[in-house]
Structure 1
Amino acid sequence: MTTSSVAAPDTRDKSRGGARVAVQKFGTFLSGMVMPNIAIFIAWGIITAFFIETGWTPVGVLGGFGETAGVANPGLVGPILTYLIPLAIAIQGGRMVYETRGAVVGSIMTMGVIVGASGTTMILGAMICGPLGAYLIKQIDKIWDGKIKPGFEMLVNNYAAGILGFALAMVGFFWLAPLFKLIAEGLGDAVNFLVQHSLLPLASVIIEPAKVFFLNNAINHGVLDQLGAQQVQESGKSILFLLEANPGPGLGILLAFTFFGVGIARSTAPGAIIIQFLGGIHEIYFPYVLQKPILFIAVILGGATGVATNVAFHSGLVAPASPGSIFAVLGATAKDSFLGVILSVVLSAAVSFAVASFFLIATRKRDLASGNGGDMSAAMAKLQQNKGRDVNSATSGLLGNNSPANEEEAEASLGGVGSASTTTATRVENVVFACDAGMGSSAMGASVLRNKIKKAGIEGVTVVNKAIANLSGDEDLIITQEELTDRAKQKNPNAQHVSVGNFMNAPQYDQVVDQLKNQ
């Protein structure tokens, strides 16, 4: 198969890029523990919304209030939050590190922390103890790997896991639980301080840019989910579930491009609105912000407006809204919060739209004159150059090696599909779209390319979507959004890599199809 040429040496700031990738990987690991268990959060949220004392249809035996035969009702709300959710997260985290054996030991250690920190939700403890217990049993197993006499494997393995689990449960109960409880209470106090002093909207200064750079998972799943769940148990709802999930800021950006954008950005924005606002795939609007970095101001102000609205109306959700679709948000909205939540989405979209429109109108003539406004790829190349990054590396699959100024030049300069830092003649049979969580945007991109391959009559090529953390090394061609390409290369440096700005409508798809035809 035809391949791309070897790029010039990568002269980017390695420390800055490495730090970004490290944070992304950490956030992805956290979300990898939580995302498979989102259904539990949703079920728990529905139970909470209906059956607690202030819910839609209060039922004491399910909601955990009142007495039955003189005995206090434990209900479902408390036990699910206290035991099921942390244990499910710990099991998933342990499995990610050391499969089933790691999941077992990690859950034992987590149980010690849960009981030891009675009264405090131990989601944070589960995220640490699940993987930590798995890592420790993995290291223990290495000590006598291949040294056990035949017939004694089950005895040694079971007792090793059991004894280590016992020890870790004691460590969790007596030492780690008080520490995690102190951390959880400190974070809770910090959030309460921000709420009481009307400072919570400032969180958007961190959260909104973090979303665009795929750095939000560490904050969202590492802190906000735990604190939000705790607030729900105490008051039946939490504003924290809306800090990141509000689809309003992204909707405002896409509406601004729909009315005042130029070229490809304008033509693709209406379709992106459906995917972002209704489907909840927020990644679709990230390239539009990256096209004009000044639009970070728009999403920050929009996000802050949404948070301020929810603070003013004391509104919140009963469970995480994942994905961040308007349907998921409304489905998780507390009984008394619909007005505040709807207004927060509408007002945040309005502010984001107004600010973004101002900047787009102000630069419209310049964009039309330069031609950059009509090509998101060229605009992203300019962005990378302004940031002092080498467009011949992470953006090579998107832009080609000569940083073309328009789409036609991009297609001409990209002689083959692949990473500019990798030369390979491997036949492409396994194409993988990879994103942070392996669901939303990558599933959308895979579907688009799959349909193109089908229409071209090409057979013997599979197109799937995965989380970057789950790349196995046997992929022939990996397609990612530009900000995630470095991480994908770390997982599989031998594959061909293509970076795109927009999974929904990337010109590189046609090039991939052409190369698959030629092979």
Structure 2
Amino acid sequence: MNVDTVTKENHVNKSTQERIQGFGRFLSGMVMPNIGAFIAWGLITALFIPTGWIPNENLSELVGPMIIYLLPLLIGYTGGKMVGGIRGGVIGAVATMGVIVGVDIPMFIGAMLMGPIGGYAIKKFDEAVEGKVPAGFEMLVNNFSAGIIGTLVALLAYLAIGPVVQGLNDVLKTGVEAMVNAGFLPLSSLLIEPGKILFLNNAMNHGVLGPLGMQEASSLGKSIFFLLETNPGPGLGILLAYWTFAKGMVKQSAPGAIIIHFLGGIHEIYFPYVLMNPILLVAVMAGGASGVLTFSILGAGLVATPSPGSIFALMAMTPRGGYFVVLAGVIVSTTVSFLIAAYFIKRSNNKLDEGEFTEAKEKVAEFKGKKSTLIVSKIIFACDAGMGSSAMAATGLRSKLKEMGLNIQVVNIPVNEIPHDAELVITHEGLTNRAKGMAPNAEHISIKDYFNDPEIDRLMTRLQSKTDLSNIVEVSEVEENKILRKSNIKLNLKSMEKDEAIKMVGQLLVDSGYVDAGYIDAMLEREAQLSTYIGKGVAIPHGVGAAKSKIKKSGMAVLQFPEGISFGEETVYILIGIAGAGNEHLSILSNIACAFEDDDDVEMLKSTKNVDEIYHKFTVEAI
């Protein structure tokens, strides 16, 4: 075999591995945000079902609706949102309802299919009609399109996807029964363990293995069939491996899951941990098979089905004198599952934590006096509303990148609209946690100063060696308009309280017909949530994202305070009120950002008594 062939095979294997890991991360993204709901259901189940810790017939009625409706709907909504934003989440939940109705098993797999499908459907529709909806009809189109598409995907789910998943359940049941009848008990784990991960555990246990066990126990007094699905060992090994070798949220959540699974007997709690890294199916299958082999050799068996499948329930159903052999099988299966899972989890951590690894390499390069590189095609600047501070900051960064000859797209958007597949996101430190929730796999940079923050300088250093002399992709190019009127530029004002200054600039927007009076309250609310100070003595107060309905058209107003006004720990000399109905105001924001790049221009803007100087600086043709 020549070198080219080996290289090609290695590339194919690597690509396949990356696709599997990417698929696992996508499944994880749907399930992990809802782990809290799984734990809540697990606790309610372990506590209140008839065989639980404190049986309660009334409270146990929560168990069925939660696993049939709540958990799949949460997964469907999350999957849809990952693909198509909030609208995608809504359609994903509607589509999931289509697979839930008409079947008698929990539809988690159906939710994982229909959630993203629903999100993709609404996303493609929104892309198709973007910019084509007549003004004033946006809400009408949004609502009816969501209703129509939701109807279609729900019907698709009900008529097609639901029956397919139900058929998969029947196939697995038939396969397990045939394997057991043929005498290949250890090999039954090859179907039982994946079947459990597909949330078909109850169907297999009570529909196949339970009846077989009852028949055998009636003549022998015990049966190994009661141990095939209920053995907590494979799941315990998975959770222990995550607790030992994983990082971040997964590692932190593992101990609680261990308690719910091993002591509470709720095996469903570990299924998402396998789904986030599908290669771990190998670990649970090997753990299950080794446990069954141990049970077979030692002659282990139970007198009845342990429910729930906790270690306590297993001990309670173990015949006298059989405790050692049952525990031996659990320990063996836990050990095998742990060892195999540990190997794959450690390998996955090397991939899943590339951001930390890259940062470490950059620190080493910095200590050695070398420049590191970063390859990225798009940088997202995000702020609360996506029309003020982020627009100016994006323009400043775009100009710097252009001077460096880097062909990197720079866009500004609201933090709640950051796409899930974003590469690099820059936000004010007060918004970073929200940004990470929207794009957990992106690299996030937190800043305090939108103009001179050292984090931006470090980013520029990282990008330095990636040169491309083609032009930067601009966010928008708009014609000159009357967004900023000379009459709305007020100079040489006396210092006042911050809120009074915001009310003054807001009233100018109201009097000029740009906004409704309620927009002023929205500006104050936005300031209370997060300061609009952007650096170099400039603040750009604007309404919260929900206040866009109060904007009639894009407009701006400028107040100059030569002596400055207090904005918390900062002093503001130029206050720029903004109301953005579309993208028209971005042209002026671009000029403002460029103006504040030059310290001489900044000093002029702070002290000039000539309205024309500010008007000219802010309204010349955008770069």
* Structure with greater proportional strand content: 2
TM-score range, shorter chain: 0.3 to 0.5
Considering only CA atoms, is the larger Rg found in Structure 1 or Structure 2? Answer: 2
Looking at secondary structure, tell me which structure has more helix per residue: 1
TM-score, normalised with respect to structure 1: 0.47
**TM-score by structure 2 length?**
0.40
